[in-house]
Structure 1
């Protein structure tokens, strides 16, 4: 028997490959199927089943393309309603893969169809739990994402999650290995550990959700502090449930090279969004006017989903010379299938042609410390609320990047402000959006809060309630 976790850091997502005696199963695959078909070919095994723990919200699964390429059956837990052929398993149903078995445990709460898959080895021993979004390491799946579809409140779903965990999962053996669908950084939970594999026994000891005195306390703790889900989540659920275009087709269309004249014509005809995926240090020096920078070197796909939101948005790409394929692939993972092509030669070709370009005013933290004056300097901190609460520049405004589409309208374009995040990635994303919306009267701080910490700029963890806008 072979078990392999295939982890994708950008999405903090774990897919799983299981092989035994010439047969294989894959759990929660991503959109691009090559990593899985390569493993099947290398091991000389036939894919028998594709197990889906639930209808994913944070990424588009590869179940449809993988099934078409391998003829493997797609398996969902009880109550799932799909727009394609699939096995809707019964609770406790057993599936055989070579010499091992997988038992379906219906665990509603995160979603109604959510299920865990219990792996039983050739000796009949329960050895591993593929827990999907029901149980994470350090957390459990948020119960607010499926409210509309389930016609239930988040409290009702949290109550169902309690029953699933306490009546089914906790009763399993402590030595069972837990393989969750996500790790720290995913928006599908709020308190996940950085580890991606652990034991159920350790979770019984350390996971706050598994140590509540009663159902009421569980519901209160699990629903506390939930941030609004990214707006693209519902669209990804729909794609996973109803179906989508083949990744191969999306890949072919997105990798269409466009010269400058073609690029400008497509832009004019479609009103596409220009997405520049270069490193922020390169972007600030020059970019196509109104281009949005979301760098591949960070949490690219989740930020695209959170900020662009509409998966139907036409997109034109500006990338580094060898990053077109990676960009299209990572966009497809979160359902952004309408890439119309990329600028051949990248921004360098645009610049050489003499076309108009734009820049972002950036200064060092040391220069900022010289310019900063208490009571006179406006500073926008685009880090998360929790980061801001821990420590921030005195009198700074907390304006998280995730909500820029909500707060951008509160900014006074006539008043100069400084902009920063932790290291520069998020602040340049914000700066590019501000620029695209017509804001020019601001300065971004290179190195972000990490660099500011090394200066004499006054800091405090006090949040003034009167500072709601600038």
Structure 2
């Protein structure tokens, strides 16, 4: 029996294909199911069942489309009012897919109806457990996504769910979570790339702390999560439409400038320093890298017309794949090519890029402001003396709080600050992007 991981690092999630003989089952598939179909073909298996551990809050599921595409049985926890046919399962149910046996364990906490699936081989020996947003590597799933009124109840439930997993499963049982690899669905950052029940017994706070200490610590550590989460559960309960990964319609330079002048969302996918060196005024820079979809989804005005600028079609297609994973399907087109070919008579804008040593020099020479766009909890841990903290997701409604004059903007790595710099520059302000690791500021003694 083989468990293959389908990694979606941009969202911090994993899907799984379990294969045995010519049979395969899939757990918590992402929206772009072509990756799963390709993997199943490579393993020579027919997917007979598709399992969901819960109604997801951080991505649009590919489960419904995958099940329909391969004519598989769609397994979803009972309790949610859904807009499609599925097999609703409850605690204790056993699903047999040839030699693959999956037993349902109700593990509420991340959501009310969340379940885990215990993987057994034909002789009923336990191989592993798919824990979704319950037991993660060294942490647990966050418990505040269903609504503030449910958070305390679900946090206590999460504690008991993880306790149950550890109490009923052998130490050698492999743990296969969906979240926790950078996902905001984790209550705190996960640790490691693999784990077992035995290892979690010594490292997971739900297993090393008493119940109230666990609850208090989890609640105190909950930080902001992306705004697009509000739409994911709605889409998943209704049933997502089939995915479209095709190239968006081309947009010529004249039409591109009309959209910019109209205040539409026009997003430049190029590398952050390339954007800083020359870009169309009024566009926003979201470098297509690991954090792209999280922060674009967080800042995007849901349903607003969205046009992409890319160096080539491959870059635009990759961005579209990322965007459909969070339900941004309706792209209004894309402009492709070197930025100087898209100016249509307008002048390119630019701004400076520096590092923390350059910021030290600037602070010594003249009056500059420092804008820190990290999360509040990051700022409280350590920050530059005199820095103003406006988390990047709050910047659209807090632009009046950004100081006038020369503003140096930083984050932990340069990614969030690059987005913020593009937003500030679109207001024709003087901005300098600090494209540097915050650890360097610590080494220089700038942060306290």
**TM-score, structure 2 as length reference:** 0.93
Other-structure match for 2:431: 442
Other-structure match for 1:295: 287
Q: Distance in 2 between matches of 1:234 and 1:92?
A: 31
State the 1:452 CA deviation: 4.7
Other-structure match for 1:28: 28
Other-structure match for 1:261: 254
Other-structure match for 1:403: 394
Other-structure match for 1:211: 208
The CA deviation string for residues 278-319 of structure 1, in whole angstroms up to 9 with x for no partner, is: 110100011122111111123111111212152x22210001
8 Å contact kept, 1:184–1:191: no
Other-structure match for 2:8: 8
State the 1:12 CA deviation: 1.1
- Identify if the C-alpha distance between structure 1 residues 44 and 184 changes in structure 2 by more than 3 Å, giving closer, same or farther: closer
- Identify if the C-alpha distance between structure 1 residues 43 and 454 changes in structure 2 by more than 3 Å, giving closer, same or farther: closer
User: Does 109-118 or 179-188 show the bigger shift?
Assistant: 179-188
The CA deviation string for residues 243-285 of structure 1, in whole angstroms up to 9 with x for no partner, is: 233213xx23x5222222343456678x530011111010001
Other-structure match for 1:464: none
Q: Distance in 1 between matches of 2:53 and 2:366?
A: 52
State the 1:453 CA deviation: 5.6
- Identify if the C-alpha distance between structure 1 residues 109 and 363 changes in structure 2 by more than 3 Å, giving closer, same or farther: closer
Other-structure match for 1:428: 418
Other-structure match for 2:379: 388
Other-structure match for 1:176: 173
Q: Distance in 2 between matches of 1:386 and 1:228?
A: 9
State the 1:365 CA deviation: 4.1
Q: Distance in 1 between matches of 2:121 and 2:52?
A: 20
Q: Distance in 2 between matches of 1:344 and 1:21?
A: 45
State the 1:386 CA deviation: 4.3
8 Å contact kept, 2:166–2:201: no
Q: Which consecutive unaligned segments of at least 5 residues does structure 1 have?
A: 462-470
Other-structure match for 1:319: 310
Other-structure match for 2:347: 356
Q: Distance in 2 between matches of 1:424 and 1:221?
A: 29
Alignment of 1:39-438 (within 5 A): 39-147=39-147, 152-213=149-210, 215-248=211-244, 251-252=245-246, 255-264=248-257, 272-308=264-300, 310=302, 312-321=303-312, 322-351=314-343, 353-373=344-364, 376-412=367-403, 414-436=404-426, 438=427
Q: Which consecutive unaligned segments of at least 5 residues does structure 2 have?
A: none
Q: Distance in 2 between matches of 1:101 and 1:309?
A: 44
User: Does 385-394 or 417-426 show the bigger shift?
Assistant: 385-394
8 Å contact kept, 2:107–2:116: yes
8 Å contact kept, 1:182–1:196: no
Q: Distance in 2 between matches of 1:93 and 1:348?
A: 61
Q: Distance in 2 between matches of 1:334 and 1:268?
A: 27
8 Å contact kept, 2:6–2:36: no
Helix, strand or coil for the counterpart of 2:193?
coil
- Identify if the C-alpha distance between structure 1 residues 200 and 293 changes in structure 2 by more than 3 Å, giving closer, same or farther: same
Helix, strand or coil for the counterpart of 2:15?
strand
**TM-score, structure 1 as length reference:** 0.89
Calculate the aligned-residue CA RMSD, in Å.
2.3
8 Å contact kept, 1:317–1:341: yes
Q: Distance in 2 between matches of 1:338 and 1:139?
A: 36
- Identify if the C-alpha distance between structure 1 residues 128 and 454 changes in structure 2 by more than 3 Å, giving closer, same or farther: closer
State the 1:16 CA deviation: 0.2
State the 1:180 CA deviation: 0.7
